[in-house]
Structure 1
Amino acid sequence: MTPDEAQTLIDEIASQFAARTLEERLAWLHDSGRRIVFTTSLGIEDQVVTDGLASALPSASIVTLDTGRLFDETLALITETERHYGIAIERFKPEAEKIDRFVATYGLNGFYESVAARHACCGVRKVEPLGRALAGADVWITGLRRGQSAARGAVAFAEWDSDHEVLKVNPLADWSLAEIRQRVQDRAIPINPLHARGYPSIGCAPCTRAVKPGEDERAGRWWWENDTQRECGLHVAGAASELPARQNA
C-alpha cells in the first residue's frame, strides 16, 4: 500500500467510523481486502479488540510480543484467550544475541539507569520484534485510545505509519475506559487479573506498577522517569531498535 492509497482509506475511515460499532468498524476493514495484523498486549483494550475480531474480522492475524519479561498473568492469559476464542496468537520474541548485548552493556535491569537504556531495552524486546510481526502487512490494528494518557489524547482512527509502511488503524480511539469495562462485563471477555489490582496498563513486569488515585491510566509504566511522554517506541515514529553505546558517567 502506498501512502497515497493509505490517505484515501484514512479519509474514508475518518468519515465512516464515528457512527459505527466496533464490529462494524472491523467489518469495514474486512471489505478492504488487505492483509491485516492485530498486535495485542493482552491488555483490557486489546482483549476487547480480539473479541470483536473473532466475529467481525476472523481473517486478521493476531500476534503478540513476548518480551521475555512479561507478568505470569499475561502469559497465562495468552493461552486462555486462544482457548476462549478458538484462535492462535502468534508470539514474536526478541533475538537472543541482542538481549545478550543489552545485558552485557547495561546489566539485566539496566533500563532503570537512564531513559536511553530503557529505550534500548524496549527497542530490543519490543520494537525490533514488532518489525518482524508487521512484515508484509497492509493494515496494523491497535487498541490505542485517546483517554489512556495525555500523550495519546490526539490518537486518530487511522494514520500512515511510515516506519513500517502500513495503515495503522485504532478502532477504539474514541472509547472511554468505562465503555471498555462495560463491554468486558457484557460479553464475559477474559482479562488480566492484574487490572483488578490497580494495573490499568500492563507491560513488562519490571516496568509496570499499580497506579495511584488521580493518576492517568499509563502512569504505572516506567514510573521512575520524569518524561510525561513515556512510550516504549511501538507507537513513536522513528523509534530505534538498535542498541546504542553506553554513555560514560
Structure 2
Amino acid sequence: MSTLYTEAQLQEINDSLKGKTPQEIVSWALEIAKKPLITTNFRPYEGSILHLTTSQKEDLKVVWCDTGYNTPNTYRHAEELIAKLNLEIHLYVPKQTSSHRDVVMGIPQIEDPMHKVFTEQVKLEPFKRAMSEHQPDLWFTNLRKGQTAFRDSIDIVSQGADGVLKVSPFYDWSDEQLDLYNEENKIPNEFKYFDPTKVLGNRECGLHA
C-alpha cells in the first residue's frame, strides 16, 4: 500500500531535492520504493528518462500503453530503445483494434462528445489496467515544467489520488539540457510522434490531472 503524504510533507521532500541531479533524484526514489515502475509512450525525450532510470535499476518495469495510432517512426524508435537499453517492457493495448475503431468511431475532434470515449478506450483504460495489475508505489514520469499549465503547478515529486508517488527527475530541465544528455549518452530521439487524444501539444494527456 502506498504511503499517503500531506502537502507539507511533499513540500519538504521537494525542498530537499532542489539542486539535486536527476541521477540523485532517481537514487533517492529507488531507496524508498518497493514497487517502482516507469511508463512510456516513446514520445520525444522518452529515451532520456528510460536511460536515466534503468541505468540504476536494470530490471525496472517499463509499462508501454500503445494507443495503436503511433507513427512508423515512433514504432521504429521504440524497437531501437528497447534493444539498446534492454528494457523490461510490459505492453498494454486497447481492447479494440484501431482498425475496428476507425470504422465505428474514427478519431473524434476534441469538441465531439465521443472524444472522451475515444480517450478512455485508447489511453485511460489500458493505463488503469496496467496500474491495477502492477500496483506500483512509485511511478517515474518525464513530466517537465513548461509543458502544460497543470505540469507547471506540480513539482519533482507529486502524489496522485491513488496514492502513487510520481517522480519526475528531469522536471526542471530544458529541451537543450536533454539534447546534451542524449548526446553524451548516445541516446536516440524521435520527433515524429502523434497522440490522437491530445491534438494540441500543450493539452494535458489525461493520465496526470
TM-score bin, normalised by smaller chain:
0.7 to 0.9
Q: 1:26 to 1:12 in 2, by over 3 A?
A: farther
Aligned in 2, Cα 1:24/1:59: closer, same or farther, shift over 3 Å? farther
1:222 to 181, 199, 207: 199
Q: 2:106 aligns with which of 105, 108, 117?
A: 108
- Cα gap change, 1:4 to 1:65, in 2 (>3 Å): closer
Moved more, 115-124 or 183-192: 115-124
Other-structure match for 2:145: 146
* Structure 2 counterparts to residues 194-213 of structure 1, below 5 A: 194=192, 202-204=193-195
In 1: Cα distance, 2:66 partner to 2:120 partner: 13
Counterpart position of 1:26: 26
* Structure 1 residue 160: Cα displacement: 1.6
User: Is 1:183 the counterpart of 2:181 in the alignment?
Assistant: yes
Partner deviation per Cα, 1:131-166 (whole Å, 9 max, x = no partner)? 12222111111101012234422231112211x331
Deviation at 1:62, TM superposition (A): 0.8
Taking the aligned partners of 2:73 and 2:36, their CA distance within structure 1 comes to 27
Give the structure 1 partner of residue 49 of structure 2.
49
Instruction: Give the aligned partner of residue 239 of structure 1.
Output: none
Q: CA RMSD in A?
A: 2.8
Using the alignment, how far apart are the partners of 2:12 and 2:51 within structure 1?
A: 24
Kept in 1, the 8 Å contact 2:59–2:88? The answer is: no
User: What is the CA deviation profile of residues 162-192 of structure 1, one whole-angstrom value per residue up to 9, with x for unaligned ones?
Assistant: 1x33111222211111111111122111111
> Is residue 96 of structure 2 the alignment partner of residue 96 of structure 1?
yes
Mapping of residues 3-22 of structure 1, within 5 Å: 4-5=4-5, 10-11=10-11, 13-22=13-22
Shift of 1:28: 0.9
- Number of equivalences: 207
Q: Structure 2: how far apart are the matches of 1:113 and 1:87?
A: 34
Q: Distance in 2 between matches of 1:42 and 1:97?
A: 20
Amino acid at match of 1:22: P
Distance change >3 Å, CA 99–CA 15, structure 1 → 2: farther
Is the 8 Å Cα contact of residues 13 and 157 (structure 1) preserved in structure 2?
Answer: no
1:234 aligns with 2:207: yes
Alignment-derived partner of residue 243 in structure 1: none
**Largest Rg, 1 or 2:** 1
Equivalent positions of 1:153-192 (< 5 A) are: 153-162=152-161, 164-192=162-190
1:127 aligns with 2:124: yes
TM-score (structure 1 length as normaliser): 0.73
Query: Distance in 1 between the 2:128 and 2:6 partners?
Result: 19
**Aligned residue type for 2:154:** V
Taking the aligned partners of 2:44 and 2:32, their CA distance within structure 1 comes to 27
Determine if contact 2:146/2:152 at 8 Å carries over to the other structure.
Answer: yes
Identify unmatched segments of 5+ residues in structure 2. Answer: none
- Considering Cα pairs closer than 8 Å and 6+ residues apart, tell me whether 1 or 2 has the greater RCO: 2
Normalised by the length of structure 2, the TM-score is 0.85
CA–CA distance in 2 between the matches of 1:229 and 1:148?
6
1:127 is paired with a residue of what secondary structure? helix
